[in-house]
Structure 1
């Protein structure tokens, strides 16, 4: 059980969540999008949201700015969150501008707001759960898409709700967060996506 709970935190690391949201969108959207366009977006986002953050993490680790991929202290979180915000801005400008796929544009605007909120809290010495922020943001995006496209994804939403609970349990098990930190992370992820729904739903 200990291995499973620790594995959940690793497998569903926050860096993979934005790409899961994009892949889900492409798999469920009834709009026609050229296959080449979707492939280009997915590859670009894989590089920017997964590979680049991993490379930057090792750079920060070599510079002594962080000691763990889980960013255990508030001080360790500041530089990675700043870099992640910059990467998200780059995605919004170059990969998913507002005139192409508006749903994904606002999805990443929500990610940017959540990241900046988490950064501000880290500067204030409060360690909101980035894991919870990421998974709850994706959950809210899935829910909005089900309404937007009038599709039944109850099974997916149920699995996402279970995943949120599993990640929360995992973070508590490894003593990475307290209940207030998990709840704060949950709301930091949910609320921006919920507010931004007004601009595209």
Structure 2
């Protein structure tokens, strides 16, 4: 059981959730987008949201600034969250600018707000769950996507809710977070996406 729950934390790690959401968007969106553009956007996004953060993590581990990819202490989170803010800003500027795909622009704007909030809490020594921030943001994006395009994605949405529950259970079982830290993380993930709906829904 411990192996399974630990695996869930790795499989649905926050660094891959934005890519999964974008891949879902391109698969389900009724909007015509050239296949070559989709491929280029996804490759760029994967490099920025997955490959680059992993490289930063190994650099920090080599320098003795972090011990785990899960960033177990609030202090360990500060520099990675600063770097992530820069990466998200780059995504907004180069990969998904407002005049290209508004839905994804505002999705990443919500991620930036969530990331900044998590950073401020880390500076204040509060460790909100980044896993729940990531999954919560994706759940709200799925809901907004379904409403925006009037598409039935109940199966995908139900699966994402189950994943969120599994991730929360995993983090609790592994004693990585308290219930309060998980709830705060979920709120930080959901709220910015909800606030930005008026700009694209």
How far has the Cα of 1:94 moved from its partner?
0.8
Q: Which residue of 1 aligns with 2:53?
A: 53
Give the gaps of 5 or more residues in structure 1.
none
Match of 1:136 in 2: 136
Runs of 4+ in structure 1 deviating by more than 2 angstroms, as ranges, are none
Q: How does 1:54-133 map to 2 (within 5 A)?
A: 54-133=54-133
Q: Distance in 2 between matches of 1:21 and 1:5?
A: 22
How many residue pairs were aligned? 201
- Aligned with 2:15: secondary structure? helix
Shift of 1:11: 0.5
Deviations 1:34-80 (A, max 9, x none): 00000000000000000000001001111111111000000000000
In structure 2, the partner of 1:39 is 39
Gaps of 5+ in 2: none
| Distance (Å, rounded) in 2 between the aligned partners of 1:2 and 1:125 | 28
Q: 1-side partners of 2:64 and 2:78: how far apart?
A: 13
Shift of 1:31: 0.8
TM normalised by structure 2 equals 0.99
